[in-house]
Chains A and B, each alone.
Chain A
């Protein structure tokens, strides 16, 4: 019985790691007031960049950096549209998701199928993700710039009045979110299943978006939630004889809807940052 639990825990952690990494990034972006639905595309670009660089240069560390850069770049593109040009954030994110997946699939053709020579240990990412969750929580709750970030999402006018550039804060938060998605992608192609194939992200980016909400935009809760989602996925194979696998796989998504509804019932607004999803216009009355 104990062995069962231990394996489930380990697998849940492993599967939950990319979700957690990308989810933490999404939390930061959304805390600053920007919904980034392009996580899936950025994760794919990160995964490809990591693999392609690691494969050609022989250094997985370089691949990691490439992943961060590629995904952050894509995120900046999104930020330009959503923050700079005040475009509809949801649709802009969707566009980046399509674009990211498409580009990764297209440009990744020559790298398909080949295994990676030097890989990175899964455990390093798992531990790193948990540490990051802790660090990011601390930064968010207990530092000045964390406060600024949160304010940009709750009350951007106040931040503006303080003399801090709201746009820069949001750009930075979104770029960071993108980099985290890239990190998640790097985990997939350098450690989890060291290779590149189109579709390697298999919807994990969307689960990460769901995670950010499910965890009430709280980095520590996100770690628990990622564990929970990972456990569901692992159990859908473990318990295949007893439980319909599709039910377990659909659960994360159903849970998000449930959580959103419950928190709306419970205390009125869902605890989301007030200005989430609304482009900031300096001097305009919202």
Chain B
């Protein structure tokens, strides 16, 4: 009798303790290897930071998950006790939704996606603001008037990045061009190298890119050409040639989301409208090629020397312009946006009327190219 009472008490106490600070297991699936120094690497850094910040969090990850296998892998992860699953690639969309129907008690979050469910949220940390600032600097540094961009896939995400970049370049150098070459892969160092060489051969003397490796930086540095880091801090690969870049802090989103799940704010029933679209104000992204270094000090003198006439600030150095607009875009009210109207595309068609800005939906489905962009642009709208 006494034994039974004791057991019941223990169970009750256990249950009480469980209700307060119990462990949460979150799992990540990556589309590439974490060593790629690009997209998957950055997500993994976010995972590690979240693990460090949240004592009750236990994490696991699987890398290089082919899209065909995503659902099967999710099943396995659920079996291993994952309560929250982060799917870090657009291609996992259908698998995530199917898995979410199959496992209604598990919470899912899909990066770069747009379909949600009661237990599926979506999230994205976007770079378009940073690319505009990078463009300002690129426009100031180019002497040939040709800036090169090595792109992975001609999808809206890259198109808005390149367009924002081109808008920045043209704001400083109205005659400059942004030459684009696509490699049709997220990760292919050999292709990135050859594309870079081809752009340099075509006259580009400043480079930016979307590819999950520092290849473009290294190739450009060998030829003495400045470049912009992408996704992970790559300044150390060429400290004399990386001007700035785009950095991401996925942990901002991960910590926010997981904390809310842990506190019961987000459950497996109320995620239908949870969609993170986090930019500079939320600290999800950061300007620079190295954390804490928005502009490489080696390039500050050149950027300070170049002056432009800004409609808002008057005569100003590019460096100061970058810093000022960075501050404006970091303001929660988004006092400045690269895509604020009027904006026409490279064919002359008006895309954003005066006084308006692009909605999130428009940004997510953007197919047109900003003026100054030259090169193949598949699916360009008439």
Direct touch of chains A and B (CB < 8 A): yes
Report which A residues bind B (CB closer than 8 A).
3-4, 7-8, 11, 15, 109, 112-113, 115, 192-195, 197-200, 202, 204, 233-234, 236-238, 240-241, 245
Contact check: which of B188, B189, B194 meets A15 at CB < 8 Å? B194
Assuming A113-B41, A234-B197, is B33 touching A240 (CB within 8 A)?
no
Q: Are A113 and B36 in contact (CB under 8 A)?
A: yes
- Kindly state the separation between the CA atoms of A198 and B184 in the bound complex, as whole angstroms: 18
Contacts of B182 in A (CB 8 A): 240, 245
A11 touches B35 (CB 8 A): no
Closest 9 CB pairs of A and B: A112-B35, A7-B201, A237-B198, A238-B198, A113-B35, A237-B195, A113-B37, A193-B189, A241-B376
Residues on A with C-beta less than 8 A from B193 are 192-193
Contact B190 A193 (CB under 8 A): yes
Q: How far is the CB of A173 from chain B (nearest CB, A)?
A: 29
Instruction: Tell me whether B163 is interfacial, beta carbon within 8 Å.
Output: no
- Is B213 a contact partner of A197 (Cβ separation < 8 A)? yes
A sample of 16 inter-chain contacts (CB < 8 A) reads A7-B197, A8-B201, A11-B198, A113-B35, A113-B36, A113-B41, A192-B190, A194-B218, A195-B213, A197-B187, A197-B189, A198-B33, A234-B197, A240-B181, A240-B182, A240-B198
Check B215–A112 contact: CB distance below 8 A: no
CB within 8 Å of A: which of B175-204? 181-184, 187-191, 193-195, 197-198, 201-202
B residues contacting the other copy or chain, number (CB 8 A)? 29
Is the beta-carbon distance between A237 and B189 smaller than 8 angstroms?
Answer: no
Smallest Cβ distance from A18 to chain B, in angstroms?
Answer: 9
**Docked complex Cα distance between A271 and B146 (Å):** 49
The residue from A15, A109, A194, A245 contacting B184, defined by CB atoms under 8 A apart: A245
Q: Are B194 and A233 in contact (CB under 8 A)?
A: yes
Residues of the B chain whose Cβ atoms lie less than 8 Å from the Cβ of A236: 194
Q: Is B375 an interface residue (CB 8 A)?
A: yes
Q: Which B positions have Cβ atoms within 8 angstroms of A?
A: 33, 35-37, 41, 181-184, 187-191, 193-195, 197-198, 201-202, 213-215, 218, 236-237, 375-376
CB distance from A108 to the nearest CB of B (A): 9
Residue contact B198 to A200, C-beta cutoff 8 Å: no
Residues of B within 8 Å of A11, CB to CB, are 194, 197-198, 201
Q: How far is the CB of B372 from chain A (nearest CB, A)?
A: 16
Given contacts A193-B193, A245-B184, contact A115 B36 (CB under 8 A): no
Residue of A nearest to B213 (CB): A197
Cβ 8 A contact of B189, one of A4, A200, A204: A200
